Structure 1
Amino acid sequence: MPHPTDYRGRFAPSPTGALHFGSLVAALGSWLVARHAGGEWLVRVEDLDPPREVPGAAQAQLRTLEHFGLHADGAIVRQSERGHLYQAALDRLLASGDAFACHCSRGALAASGGIHRRCVPGARRHDPAIRLRVPDRAVIAFDDPVHGRIEQDVATGVGDFVLRRADGPWAYQLAVVVDDADQGITQVVRGADLLDSTPRQILLQQRLGLPTPAYLHLPLVLDGDGRKLSKSQAALPVDDHAPMPALVAAWRVLGQDARAVAEAATPERFLALALPAFEPGRIPRGPVALRAAMHNTGAIDAD
């Protein structure tokens, strides 16, 4: 293994159900990148949205990671216990004028495709959202090792985005920025479905004076109809008691040489063989079909 570095990565699942194969790809990919760099790998439970949370899902997901040999370096962090950090960040943004109370309803923003650039005159509600004030031109660019140069004008592409929702919960964009900085994350490795969120997070980091980590976005896994796996009926949970087929399939999704792990019979042996053979440059840019990843592995039923 490489000599220890200051690298720190993380995996941050939402407890909306059992860990499915797409999430396993993100977990394994982030673990491999962190270990390849000789760094630490943390796990954070992103339980910000109680109505969507499935009781017991967080513990079940953590159990699955353990069965798959993916052990966090340090205590598990839960966003539901970190509201004071998010409030402190929000207070700073409000005090500086970078955030504002917004009384606009979703219906009021329908004509602009949901993009907020100015509040509807006279709109009032007892539970306003809090948004980040995005300037008229806010071009954010970053380099992703898999996807190359990414550039977005947050003003025209997203608009003033929500930091705290009107119904109370903290918005993902604020929480993830605060948590990544607080935990000293140096590179965020996650699925390409969050590629579009990264410019918003970088802009928010700049407003809060926080460091910007590097970003790497892993390929999405799609079902037979081309849908993201987490939104598909094919998103069956991986089997805690038969981890090897899913690990091998996830290794394939990451574009790695299947021969390197062919002799692995346990998760521990798989990870021991996978780490020295891992080549980040082989990670594919485009999405990967579930059926192709699962072919001849027996991981889950891909139909």
Structure 2
Amino acid sequence: MFLTLSDADFQAILDAGNWSSTAEDHEAFYGEALPVSLVEKWVKDYDPTKKETTAGLAALTLMTGAAAWGVTPLAGLPGDPEKKKWAGPGKGNDGKHLMSYAIGGVGVNHTDSSALIELMDYLKEQHRTLAPEADRFFALRGINFDHIRANGGVCAHPKKEIALDLNGIAFGHSNYGANKKYCFGRQGKKATTLEDWQIFRHWIRAALWLRDVQRYIIERWLNKTWIPSYDAVMGAGGSVEEVMINSRIRNSSPYTAKCALDKANQVAAADRIQSQLDAYANIGYQECRGNPKYKERFGVMQRPVALYRHFR
């Protein structure tokens, strides 16, 4: 991959993410926060003439702007755009985690769709015998995360999600439910089963316990989400701060990211970031297919921008 993290930076992310070979997708492991020294290093390592020096800024954007991680210690930091004193995600589904597998998607970027297909291909190539029921797990390739989950018992009344893994040991993830809006249109689609969701969770958790899989997920985001936004934004005369916003939008929808940049190219330089945020939340730019609920993400999305400007 073009962008890679040094072993020291990668380890620092694992440490900040409370990761270990026994970590879980549970609130006991949440509250992730990057050390301020690492954030400052990433910002100061950036050379605008060398794209390869953006790996740290890309990781900063993924962790603080997409996954909603915090920064510590608080002393000396700028104001938090999220107005949470740079705290990391707490209870509930308000962030993304290295061990995410029970809700939202897989890993720290909530891998899904085509990225989930690529992850499963990587596991088939590198870890074919990682866990039982390999054939059934790999047969799920191409089915979106939420379709597997919705048919895995979380939408049933009463809830029927299988609580034990394939070894008969209780899953350690937090107990997440699902509302009618989530279940509508997903339940019954693709005809996956309770056992498929059990197998999927067992395999993905086992994969997320592996260092190489964590590195794969993070560096894939750097190269396939950050780099396309960097090339597009900088090619249009934009700033690296805009790349931070656009790559977060791309994490949700490449179409919306492209449309948001097109709209930014039509406004004054001082308004470009807000224009992209508005497109993401469907404020005045319906053709960008944004979502009004994404307005609640504006604070988190601007965290890496605030940190970059502070330490630059």
Larger % of helix: which? Answer: 2
Q: TM-score, normalised by structure 2?
A: 0.26
Higher strand share: 1
